Amino acid sequence: MIELIKSSERGYADHGWLKSHHSFSFADYHNPRRMGFGALRVINEDRIAAGTGFGTHGHRDMEIISYVLAGELAHKDSMGNGQANAQGAGHADGVIRPGDVQRMSAGTGVMHSEFNHAQGQETHFLQIWIQPDQRGIKPSYEQKHFPVEQKRGALRLVASPDGAQGSVQINSDARLYAALVDGAEQLSLPLASGRLSYVHLVRGSLQVNGQSLSAGDAVQLSQEPELQLSQGVDAEVLVFDLAA
């Protein structure tokens, strides 16, 4: 079964400094049909104005992934990662840029902040929440860079429960792939029985199992033997493999 979800169906919030599209119910946006999919709970497409950001706030018992599309995002947390003003700093200082994947396991609780310190440059990123398999774990943080070459015409594993293929390791039976698809490139991913797949098109256009997607669109797949991606036009896509 395949369900197409158009970008226009997402929730939207404009806070001035922050503009956010919500794929699933979040904050003041509530849609009983969009409470999550498998362990996937949140995909927020956020745009943060220059010189602004999320002040210090807390999370617990959630796997949080940040995927930057443009600009940069400076992270600082109660585990000692990052710094207050990390403009121009390296990855070890908690700054995430395009190609980076940041994972924070909130576990028993963590406080953190996220800021766009770059002047005159908007930060565009995806904030992803995945429910953990185990609650009450020790909080942890991980960040890795995945070059364009590894995603061009390929499904690059970027997050997994075992850190396979150099992916960041999450405390959940879920796998996240990133791909760049253009022209004649065709990609496929076998879907094991009892698994779900969620595909979110970040930008460009793409066909997913015969469904045409534009930027911001998504498809939910269940009881499908295979995922097929084709006819991409400058497409960047995220693919989730989830337990049912």
Between 83 and 233, residue with greater pLDDT: 233
Instruction: Please state the domain count of the chain.
Output: 1
Using an 8 Å Cβ cutoff, are 185 and 236 in contact? Answer: no
The pLDDT assigned to 87 comes to 42
Residue 132 neighbours by CB under 8 Å, 6+ apart: 61, 62, 63, 105, 107, 170, 171, 172
Quote the CA–CA distance of 39 and 59 in Å, as a whole number. Answer: 17
Q: How confident is the model at residue 93 (pLDDT cuts 50, 70, 90)?
A: low
| DSSP single-letter state for residue 166 | G
The pLDDT assigned to 81 comes to 86
Q: How confident is the model at residue 89 (pLDDT cuts 50, 70, 90)?
A: very low
* 182-210 pLDDT per residue, tens: 999 999 999 999 899 999 999 999 999 99
Using an 8 Å Cβ cutoff, are 191 and 223 in contact? Answer: no
- In one letter, which amino acid is 16? G
* 144-193 pLDDT per residue, tens: 999 999 999 999 999 999 999 999 999 999 999 999 999 999 999 999 99
Q: List the domain range (segments joined by +) for residue 121.
A: 2-243
Q: Is 157 helix (H, G, I), strand (E, B) or coil?
A: strand
Q: Is the pTM of this model over 0.75?
A: yes
What is the CATH number for 229?
2.60.120.10
Q: How confident is the model at residue 119 (pLDDT cuts 50, 70, 90)?
A: confident
Query: What is the mean predicted confidence (pLDDT) over 48-76?
Result: 94
